[in-house]
Every structure is written in C-alpha cells, then in structure tokens.
Amino acid sequence: MYARMTTIRVRDGKFDEAIGIAKDSIAPLAKEQPGFVNLLALTDSDDGEVVLISLWETEGDLQAGEDNGYYEDQIGKLSTILDGRAMRENYTVDTLA
C-alpha cells in the first residue's frame, strides 16, 4: 500500500471550512479514483493545520492521481483558504500490528 501525505495550514477562521471541503468534496471524489483505499485527516484546530493522508493500493494508483491532474484539482478547492502552500510527500505503507 502507498500513502500521500498533504500538510496544509489554513487562514484564521477557516479551519471548519477546510474540513468541510475535505469531507464533502474531496473525499467523495477520492472514492471514485482507481486503487483508492481511504482518506484520513489529522487536525490541529489551534494551529490551523490539517494533514490529509490518502491510502492507495499501488504506487501506480497514487501516481495516476498526480499525472491526470486529480490531485491538483483537489488542492485547488482549498486554495482560497490556505495560509501558504500545501506540502506533499509520498510513502510506502508497512503494517506493523
């Protein structure tokens, strides 16, 4: 399994809006992507930080979303409420327990 971790910081007063966009718009479209497994959100409302972790069956599935513009389209939905740039990192997932 593979993971994409995207870290964003949102503008003051926009935290709930960011979570709403992720839940109501980004997550439903992620479910339609080939090889998508799950989307997790790690949140810190005090700092306005959100870490979105998407899980993918194969590295090719993860990469396809970047190659076809899907990923950029989803981040674009958050563009007006971001405080800075979204940071993206890709990982291999190992199950330990």
**Distance (Å, rounded) from C-alpha 6 to C-alpha 90?**
9
pLDDT surpassing 90 at residue 77: yes
Angle at 51 between CA 73 and CA 26, to 5 degrees: 30
**Distance (Å, rounded) from C-alpha 53 to C-alpha 11?**
20
pLDDT surpassing 90 at residue 66: no
**What domains sit in the chain, N to C, each tagged with a CATH number?**
2-92 (3.30.70.100)
Residue whose pair of structure tokens reads 């997790």 in the numeric block: 40
Average pLDDT over residues 48-60: 95
pLDDT surpassing 90 at residue 45: no
pLDDT surpassing 90 at residue 50: yes
Grade residue 65 by pLDDT with cuts at 50, 70 and 90: confident
Average pLDDT taken over every residue of the chain: 93
**Distance (Å, rounded) from C-alpha 2 to C-alpha 84?**
26
pLDDT surpassing 90 at residue 94: yes
CA 89, chain centre distance (Å): 10
